[in-house]
Structure 1
Amino acid sequence: MYLGLDLGTSGVKAMLIDDEQRIIGSASGALDVSRPHPGWSEQDPADWIRATEQALDALKAAHPDALAAVRGIGLSGQMHGATLLDKHDAALRPCILWNDTRSFRQAAALDSDPQFRALTGNIVFPGFTAPKLAWVRENEPEIFAEVRWILLPKDYLRLWLTGEHMSEMSDSAGTSWLDTGKRKWSESLLAATQLDERQMPDLVEGTDSAGTLCPELASRWGMGSGVVVAGGAGDNAASACGMGTVGEGQAFVSLGTSGVLFAANARYLPNPESAVHAFCHALPNTWHQMGVILSATDALNWHSGVTGRSAGELTGELGDTLNSPGSVTFLPYLSGERTPHNDAAIRGAFVGLGHESSRAALTQAVLEGVSFAIRDSLEALRAAGTRLTRVTAIGGGSRSRYWLKSIATALDLPVDLPADGDFGAAFGAARLGLIAATGANPVATCFAPATAETIAPETSLVSAYEDAYQRYRRLYPAIKEATL
């Protein structure tokens, strides 16, 4: 048996699979986010352990024999979080999360240093880890002075599980301290934030062993000795391992709270000017690119809150037949935007409202706006040298057939739907645990699920969607100018 642990923002998910990758069971533990000031987003690392214990206790109650047979554990986690520990491994403050934007000034200052883009292949975004440490140095100097270790969230779980200070390439690529092409920490980038490599965890590949489960925890859950804990992956790379998106040209679009267009690469293809994320993949000698939009289903959920109708009711009003884009355009920048604008201050808008603009028209505009934002990511990937012929849709938003048709037509690419199953980050983490424990071939292990259905672009509407997309693109500079 093999166990995947996925530390998300809203909870920890634990999943058990057997050696044939059949899902035996899963359980979760809930997490809350603290927002003490506007733009702040924090969690207490102790809560991650509590939620993991809750999930594993539930798995033990439901599947005690299977849990006892675990031989490998894989970790996945929310990226970019700054977990700061003292010399006794005690947390010095709550972890500053990926969606915390307080360090936007520090991010801009680091990004103005050309070595950051040159070595990491990425813009220094406010959500990344390095600017968070710069903020702590400027605003909490007494805490900065006590920092002995800087760990990413899932690697704090690893410390608890194994006693090891270790990380892997895919998650570490989101810190702004990794030389992404060489897959190692950059001394010069750490020095630019007044840190050194001594404060960073050792690095392994996601498929490698990164410690063994400590005897006390193994005994608690009835496991034997020598349970291997894999390097694991950041959440998007782990999802890619679960989806089998590990080979050149394979891609998925994730419609979760945020939206991601993820493409696997056999070589390193940075293009920071387009705000594409170029990160190491979880598998050795592979990389990936991501276009990231900050509000995907979050945009529909916002619209749901304003209208007092559930997301299902709103999309249900549109039916299944794709409409030609209407006169209303929605910009989904409710909390700023990453790809392609790298703009934390921009905010969303409806443009083109008239007396005839019904609730259904606004819902259609919201879905189209997110589809066009994903098209922005596709254009950014193309500018970085990646060519896609199709994508697979995952995430909660993929339950809307109308939305899938809109995305397929906006991208002018077929969108595949996987067969029923859970192929997310916890499953990908479990696969990494299997590989680390058995030495199985990573590519052969991380195969893609069967395709249940393909949503083709509506060819009769591709031209109308292209016109609407060009209108959408013209609105960002106009809105930005009006809100300066």
Structure 2
Amino acid sequence: MYLGLDLGTSGVKALLIDGDQTVIASATAALDVSRPHDGWSEQEPADWIRATEEAVGRLKASHPADLAATRGIGLSGQMHGATLLDAAGAVLRPCILWNDTRSHQQAARLDADPRFRAITGNIVFPGFTAPKLAWVKDNEPDVFARVAKVLLPKDYLRLWLTGEFISEMSDSAGTSWLVVGARAWSADLLAATDLDESHMPALVEGTDPAGTLKASLAARWGMGGNVVVAGGAGDNAASACGMGAVRGDQAFVSLGTSGVLFAANARYLPNPESAVHAFCHALPETWHQMGVILSATDSLNWLEDITGRSAKELTDELGEQLHAPSGVTFLPYLSGERTPHNDATIRGAFSGLSHQSGRAVLTQAVVEGVAFAFRDSLEALHAAGTDVSRVTAIGGGSRSRYWLKAIATALGIPVDIPADGDFGAAFGAARLGLIAAEKADPLSVCVPPATAETIEPEDGLSQAYEDAYRRYRALYPAIRGVSS
């Protein structure tokens, strides 16, 4: 058996697969996010351990014999978070998360140093790890002076599991400290934030062994000795492993809290001017590009809170048939935006409201706004040299057929729906655990799922969607100076 642990923003998922990659069981435990100020987003690392204990404990209660047969564990996690430890390994402050934008001034300062884009192949976004450390140095100097190690969230979980300070390439590529093409820490970029390689974990590939489960935890969970913990991956690369998007012609769209348009690459293709992320993949000698929007299903969750109707009720109200855009436009910039604007201070907006703009019209505008944000990412990928001819849909929002029809029509490409099964980040992490434990061939393990259905663009609405996308594109520059 092989266990995948996915440390997300809203919870931890534990998923168990067998040697044939059949999902045996899964369990989850919830996490909360603290937002003490506008633009802030934090979690206590101790809560990650509690949630992991809960999720694995539920697997032990329901499938004790299967859990006991675990030979490998893979890790997936929310990216970019700054988990700061002192010399004794104690946490110094709450982790600053990926969707925290407080460090936008520090990010702009670092991004103005041409070495960052040249070495990492990426803009220094406010959500990345390096500007968070610069913010801590500027605002919490006593904390910064005590920092001995900086870990990404899943790698703090690894420390608890194994006692090892280790990270891997896909997650580390999102720190603004990695030489992404050469897959190594940059001493120059670390020095630019008053750090050095002693503050960083060791680096391995996501498919490599990266520690062994502590005997105390193995005993608590009923496992034997020598359980290998794989390098793992950042959540998007782990999802790609779960979806089999590991070759140069494969892509997926993820409708989660944030939204991702992900394309695997056989070579390193940086183009920071397009605001596309160019990162290492979890497999050796493989990279990927992705456009990222910060509020995908989070936009519908916001509307859910406002209206008192569940997200499912809201999208069900739209029906199955795709409608022409109503003229109401929504910008999903509730937490700022990455691709293509790299704007931490922009905020969301509705435009074109009238007395006739009821709840269903607002829902339709939110769904279309997120679809158009994915279109922005598609255009940015094209500018970065990657052609995407079709995508597979994953994430909670992919359960809405209306949303998938809107995305297919906005992007002008087919959207594949995978056959029933769990192919997300936890499954990808379990695959990495299998590869590391058994020294298996990554390409033989990370194969795509069967396609259950393909949603084609609705040609009859393509022009209406193009017109609506032009309105959407014109709205950002119109409000940029007044919305921050």
Q: If the TM-score is normalised by the length of the shorter chain, which range does it land in?
A: over 0.9
2: CA distance between counterparts of 1:209 and 1:182?
Answer: 20
Q: Does 1:82 align with 2:82?
A: yes
Q: TM-score, structure 2 length as denominator?
A: 0.98
What CA deviation, in whole Å up to 9, does each residue of 1:274-315 have, x standing for no partner?
111111000100011111111111112222222332222222
What CA deviation, in whole Å up to 9, does each residue of 1:26-77 have, x standing for no partner?
1122222222222222112112111111111211111111111111110011
| CA deviation after TM superposition for structure 1 residue 480, in Å | 0.9
In structure 2, give the amino acid aligned to 1:458. Answer: E
What CA deviation, in whole Å up to 9, does each residue of 1:115-138 have, x standing for no partner?
001111111111111011111111
Secondary structure class of the residue paired with 2:14: strand
Alignment match, 2:103:
103
Secondary structure class of the residue paired with 1:481: coil
Q: Which runs of 5+ in 1 are unaligned?
A: none
Secondary structure class of the residue paired with 2:188: helix
Q: How does 1:258-407 map to 2 (within 5 A)?
A: 258-407=258-407
Alignment match, 1:460:
460
| CA deviation after TM superposition for structure 1 residue 103, in Å | 1.0
What CA deviation, in whole Å up to 9, does each residue of 1:442-474 have, x standing for no partner?
011011111110000001111221121112111
Q: Which runs of 4+ in 1 moved over 6 A?
A: none
Alignment match, 1:240:
240
1: CA distance between counterparts of 2:306 and 2:151?
Answer: 38
Cα distance change on mapping 1:246 and 1:111 into 2, 3 Å? same
Alignment match, 1:426:
426
Alignment match, 1:189:
189
Q: Do the aligned partners of 2:409 and 2:458 also contact (CA within 8 Å) in 1?
A: yes
| CA deviation after TM superposition for structure 1 residue 244, in Å | 0.8
In structure 2, give the amino acid aligned to 1:114. Answer: P
| CA deviation after TM superposition for structure 1 residue 420, in Å | 0.8
What CA deviation, in whole Å up to 9, does each residue of 1:328-362 have, x standing for no partner?
11111112111000111111111122233333222
2: CA distance between counterparts of 1:432 and 1:353?
Answer: 48
Alignment match, 1:225:
225
In structure 1, give the amino acid aligned to 2:176. Answer: S
2: CA distance between counterparts of 1:421 and 1:122?
Answer: 34
Cα distance change on mapping 1:468 and 1:8 into 2, 3 Å? same
In structure 2, give the amino acid aligned to 1:474. Answer: A
Alignment match, 1:176:
176
Q: Do the aligned partners of 1:80 and 1:98 also contact (CA within 8 Å) in 2?
A: yes
Secondary structure class of the residue paired with 1:29: strand
Cα distance change on mapping 1:466 and 1:130 into 2, 3 Å? same
Cα distance change on mapping 1:231 and 1:139 into 2, 3 Å? same
Alignment match, 2:160:
160
2: CA distance between counterparts of 1:347 and 1:334?
Answer: 5
Q: Do the aligned partners of 1:258 and 1:292 also contact (CA within 8 Å) in 2?
A: yes
Alignment match, 1:21:
21
What CA deviation, in whole Å up to 9, does each residue of 1:415-453 have, x standing for no partner?
000011111111100000000011111011011111110
1: CA distance between counterparts of 2:141 and 2:276?
Answer: 32
Alignment match, 1:451:
451
| CA deviation after TM superposition for structure 1 residue 391, in Å | 0.4
Q: Do the aligned partners of 2:80 and 2:171 also contact (CA within 8 Å) in 1?
A: yes
In structure 1, give the amino acid aligned to 2:59. Answer: L
Alignment match, 1:124:
124
2: CA distance between counterparts of 1:181 and 1:285?
Answer: 9
Alignment match, 1:255:
255
Secondary structure class of the residue paired with 2:174: coil
Q: Do the aligned partners of 1:159 and 1:165 also contact (CA within 8 Å) in 2?
A: yes
Alignment match, 1:3:
3
Q: Do the aligned partners of 1:249 and 1:386 also contact (CA within 8 Å) in 2?
A: no
2: CA distance between counterparts of 1:313 and 1:42?
Answer: 30
2: CA distance between counterparts of 1:142 and 1:347?
Answer: 32
Secondary structure class of the residue paired with 1:325: coil
In structure 1, give the amino acid aligned to 2:169. Answer: M
What CA deviation, in whole Å up to 9, does each residue of 1:197-222 have, x standing for no partner?
01100000000001111211111112
| CA deviation after TM superposition for structure 1 residue 153, in Å | 0.8
2: CA distance between counterparts of 1:369 and 1:439?
Answer: 44
Secondary structure class of the residue paired with 1:357: coil
2: CA distance between counterparts of 1:15 and 1:177?
Answer: 31
Q: Which runs of 5+ in 2 are unaligned?
A: none
2: CA distance between counterparts of 1:201 and 1:419?
Answer: 38
Q: Does 1:207 align with 2:227?
A: no
1: CA distance between counterparts of 2:69 and 2:437?
Answer: 13
Secondary structure class of the residue paired with 2:138: helix
In structure 1, give the amino acid aligned to 2:305. Answer: G
Alignment match, 2:414:
414
2: CA distance between counterparts of 1:67 and 1:481?
Answer: 55
1: CA distance between counterparts of 2:398 and 2:253?
Answer: 9
2: CA distance between counterparts of 1:294 and 1:286?
Answer: 25
Q: Do the aligned partners of 2:169 and 2:282 also contact (CA within 8 Å) in 1?
A: yes
Q: Do the aligned partners of 2:39 and 2:335 also contact (CA within 8 Å) in 1?
A: no
Q: Do the aligned partners of 1:13 and 1:426 also contact (CA within 8 Å) in 2?
A: yes
Q: TM-score, structure 1 length as denominator?
A: 0.98
2: CA distance between counterparts of 1:34 and 1:322?
Answer: 37
2: CA distance between counterparts of 1:31 and 1:126?
Answer: 23
Alignment match, 2:437:
437
1: CA distance between counterparts of 2:207 and 2:220?
Answer: 26
Choose 293-302 or 27-36, whichever is displaced more.
27-36
The CA RMSD measured in Å over matched residues stands at: 1.2
Choose 75-84 or 94-103, whichever is displaced more.
94-103
In structure 2, give the amino acid aligned to 1:399. Answer: R
Alignment match, 1:33:
33
Secondary structure class of the residue paired with 2:481: helix
Q: Do the aligned partners of 2:99 and 2:335 also contact (CA within 8 Å) in 1?
A: no
2: CA distance between counterparts of 1:144 and 1:178?
Answer: 20
